[in-house]
Amino acid sequence: MSRVRDVLASLGAVLVGLGFLFVVQPGLAAVLPIPRLALIVIGLLAAVEGIRSVQRRRGSEIVGAEPPDPEFGIETDAPGDDFDARIARLSTRRGWIGGDFDRVENRLRTAAITVVAARYGLSKLEARERIEAGSWTEDPVAAAFLGGPTVPQPPLEVRLRMRLGTTPRFQRYVHRTADAIAATWEAR
C-alpha cells in the first residue's frame, strides 16, 4: 500500500514540477499536443473531486485528542446544587419535561409538612391540611404550588410577571416554594 502511495506521490511531484516548468517556459507546453476536449475532461474531474472533498468535509468533524485538565483537583457540589441543576434542566419555557415532577413535588411537600408542624406545633395531619388550604405561607405562589384546588391562583400581576420573565414558570414556582419552606423554618 505504502509502495503504491510512494509511486503515486513521486508521479505527482514530477507532474507538478513539469507544470511549474511550463509556467516558466510556456513555449515548452506546445510540445505536448493536448486536445481541448481532454482539458475539459480534466477540469471536470477536478470539479468532481472538489465536490467529493466538500461532501467528505461535511460528513466529518475536525477531531483531536481531548487531554485532561488535572490542575484543579476535585470539585464537588454544595448540598442542594443537584436540586437546582435538576430543576433548571427539567423546567423549560414550554413547561415541565421528564417524569421527575412528582419526586420534586413530594420532596417539597414532605419538607413543608415537617416544617409547618414544627413551626406551629401541629400534628403532621394538621400541617398537611394547612398546606392544602394554602394558609401556611404568605407567598401566594408557594401556597398555590402545594395547595389544593381551593387555593386561589397567584394574583394576575404576579402570574403575568412570571410569564414574561426569562426564568421558566415551573422553576419560579419551585424556587419560591423552596424559599417559603426555608423562611418558615428559620422563623420558628
Partner 1 sequence: MTVRQTHRWYGVAAVAFFAAAGGILSSRPALLLVGVVGVGYAAYARLTTAPEVSLTLDRTVSDQEPPPGSEVEVTVELTNTGDPVFDLRVVDGVPPGLEVTEGSPRLGTALRPDKTATFSYTVEAQRGQHEFGAATILARDASGAEERELEQATETTLTCIPSLPPAGPSIPLRPQTAQYTGPVPTTSGGAGVEFYATREYRPGDAMTRVDWSRLARTGELSTVEFREERMATVVLVLDARQSAYRSDSEGTPALEHAIDAARSLTTSLLGDGHQVGIAAFGAEPCWLAPTTGEDQRAAIRRLLAIHPGVEPTPPQSQIVVSRRVRQLRRQLPANAQVILLTPLIDDYIATIAGRLDAYGHAATVLTPDITGGETPGQRLARTERGLRIERLRGNQIPVIDWTPTDPLEQALGILRERQP
Question: Which residues are at the interface with partner 1 (CB under 8 A)?
Answer: 5, 9, 12, 16, 19, 23, 39-40, 42-47, 49-51, 53-54, 56-57, 60-65, 67-68, 70-85, 87, 108, 111, 114-115, 118, 174-176, 178-179, 181-182, 185-186
> Nearest 5 degrees, angle CA 78-CA 167-CA 181?
55
Q: Between 10 and 152, whose beta carbon lies closer to partner 1?
A: 10
Read off the C-alpha cell for 26.
510556456
Rounded Cα distance between 182 and 164, Å, is: 26
**Beta carbon of residue 108, minimum distance to partner 1 (angstroms, whole number):** 8
Q: Between 152 and 167, whose beta carbon lies closer to partner 1?
A: 167
Grid cell 514540477 in the structure block, residue: 17
Q: Are 143 and 153 in contact (CB under 8 A)?
A: no
Q: Between 118 and 152, whose beta carbon lies closer to partner 1?
A: 118
**Beta carbon of residue 28, minimum distance to partner 1 (angstroms, whole number):** 14
Rounded Cα distance between 5 and 157, Å, is: 74
**Beta carbon of residue 149, minimum distance to partner 1 (angstroms, whole number):** 25
**Beta carbon of residue 157, minimum distance to partner 1 (angstroms, whole number):** 22
**Beta carbon of residue 110, minimum distance to partner 1 (angstroms, whole number):** 9
Q: Between 107 and 161, whose beta carbon lies closer to partner 1?
A: 107
Q: How far is CA 175 from CA 109, 132, 179, in A?
A: 13, 19, 6
Q: Between 26 and 99, whose beta carbon lies closer to partner 1?
A: 26
Q: How far is CA 97 from CA 2, 60, 86, 166, in A?
A: 54, 32, 11, 17
